[in-house]
Structure 1
Amino acid sequence: MIKNLSVRPSLIPREQRGSVESQVCYLTGRIKRLTEHLDLHGRDYSSQRGLWKIVGKRKRLLIYLFKKDRLRYKSLIGQLDMRGPR
């Protein structure tokens, strides 16, 4: 799994570029960048809408991964520190 969230797609091995894990990692990086942008520009509603769309896409990918392979899901959540302990 990719730990650095700012990795360019060209640095990811070809066989892993389309995997759910790499897509979620990429979307998480975009979400963090947009969140920082919105901290500075709170009234940028078009960026806010884009953030909501990205969050929704990541959520759908995580639901898919949860249904398909829970071990990979838990591993990904742990590596990205997305959820707190339950």
Structure 2
Amino acid sequence: MKKNSVISQEEKKGSAAFQVFGFTNKIRRLSAHLELHKKDYSSQRGLRKILGKRQRLLAYFSKKNRVRYKELINQLNIREIKR
């Protein structure tokens, strides 16, 4: 997945959408790592921390811009947050 396909040119590195994209890539990479190394508890903890960060950021983003939030979760193929 390329950044250009998800993040527009106007959005900077500090934007919520860019950060969600980065966290999603880290989550996918760590998930693949944990499939091979099931007892890597440090990575499991890191994955849970990143999941929490992304969840909080998505909650913020859904309050600020609901339309862009819907587009983002569809493009990244992630589930909507629970309210």
TM-score range for the pair, normalised by the shorter chain length: 0.7 to 0.9
Shift, 1:14, TM fit: 8.3
CA distance in 1: counterparts of 2:62 and 2:56, whole angstroms:
10
Query: Which region of structure 1 is more displaced relative to structure 2, 53-62 or 12-21?
Result: 12-21
What amino acid maps onto 1:66 in structure 2? S
Is 1:79 aligned with 2:75? yes
What's the secondary structure of 2:20's corresponding residue? helix
Equivalent in the alignment of 2:45:
49
Residues 11 and 18 in structure 2, CA contact (< 8 A), matched pair in contact too? no
TM-score by length of 2: 0.83
Give structure 1 regions of 4+ aligned residues with deviation exceeding 6 angstroms: none
- The counterpart of 1:21, out of the listed 17, 22, 39, is 17
CA distance in 1: counterparts of 2:63 and 2:47, whole angstroms:
24
* Structure 2 portions without partners, runs of 5+: none
Q: Percent identity?
A: 53
CA distance in 1: counterparts of 2:49 and 2:20, whole angstroms:
13
What's the secondary structure of 2:38's corresponding residue? coil
Instruction: Quickly say closer, same or farther: Cα 1:21–1:81, change in 2 above 3 A.
Output: same
CA distance in 2: counterparts of 1:23 and 1:51, whole angstroms:
15
CA distance in 2: counterparts of 1:15 and 1:66, whole angstroms:
16
Note the aligned Cα RMSD (angstroms): 2.2
TM-score by length of 1: 0.80
What amino acid maps onto 1:34 in structure 2? L
Aligned length: 77
What amino acid maps onto 2:29 in structure 1? R
